[in-house]
Amino acid sequence: MALKASNIKVGDTHEAVVVENLTRTQLVMYSGASGDYNPLHSDEIFATKVGGYPTVFAHGMLSMGMTGRMLTDWVGDGRLTKFGVRFVSQVFPGDNLTAKATVEALREENGEQLVDLALSTVNQDGREVVSGSATARVDP
């Protein structure tokens, strides 16, 4: 089900919990599926002794992918025309992430109804880990 322009207005928000207690195993799953095998994301010994980090941490693209789930669950499948993010803070095993979209504008372009969204994903401490924006086609 796609989002309808008539059901939303500027300032409306939608949010969803996209992961609770992020596991190291999920980081391994993401490494395998994406092909990003950087040991900083899966190799505790490398991440701590060589990298100097407190433990392994999530691929930025995993946080973006999880943020994308909130987005596609809300706007509908195959509706995104743009999706961009900035990786603001690192995401670690054990984190809970909540992703939020805020309606910035409703507009028409080439006969299509579009919604512009601001995106923010925060961890359990309320610290922003991903900020971004997206545009999606919506029904009238």
Partner 1 sequence: MAVERFPVEASHIMMFARSVGDPNPIYHDEDYAKGAEPGGIIAPPTFVQASSQYDPDAALRPKPGQPWFGSGREPSGTPRGGGGGGGGTGLHAEQHFEYHRHLHPGDVLSAKTRPGKSWEREGRRAGKLKFSETITEYFDQNGELVITARSVGVQTERVVEQA
**Pick from 35, 36, 37, 41: nearest CA to 57:** 41
Which amino acid is residue 119, in one-letter code?
L
For residues 122 and 115, the answer to whether their CB atoms sit within 8 Å is no
Quote the distance between the C-alpha of residue 51 and its chain's center.
25
The stretch near partner 1 (CB under 8 A) out of 5-13, 43-51, 104-112, 114-122 is: 43-51
For residues 88 and 123, the answer to whether their CB atoms sit within 8 Å is no
Instruction: Kindly state whether residue 116 participates in binding partner 1, applying the rule CB under 8 A.
Output: no
Of the residues 4, 21, 29, 94, which one makes contact with partner 1 according to CB under 8 A = 29
Instruction: Kindly state whether residue 49 participates in binding partner 1, applying the rule CB under 8 A.
Output: yes
The stretch near partner 1 (CB under 8 A) out of 6-14, 62-70, 104-112, 116-124 is: 62-70
The stretch near partner 1 (CB under 8 A) out of 6-14, 69-77, 103-111, 113-121 is: 69-77
The stretch near partner 1 (CB under 8 A) out of 7-15, 30-38, 100-108, 112-120 is: 30-38
**Beta-ladder partners of 55:** none
Quote the distance between the C-alpha of residue 119 and its chain's center.
8
Chain residues 7-26 in contact with partner 1, contact rule CB under 8 A: 18-19, 26
Q: Could you tell me which residues come within 8 angstroms of residue 26 by beta carbon, excluding any fewer than 6 positions away?
A: 19, 62
Q: Which residues contact partner 1 by CB under 8 A?
A: 2, 18-19, 26, 29-30, 32-40, 43, 45-46, 49-54, 59-62, 64-66, 68-69, 71-73, 76-78, 80-87, 90, 127
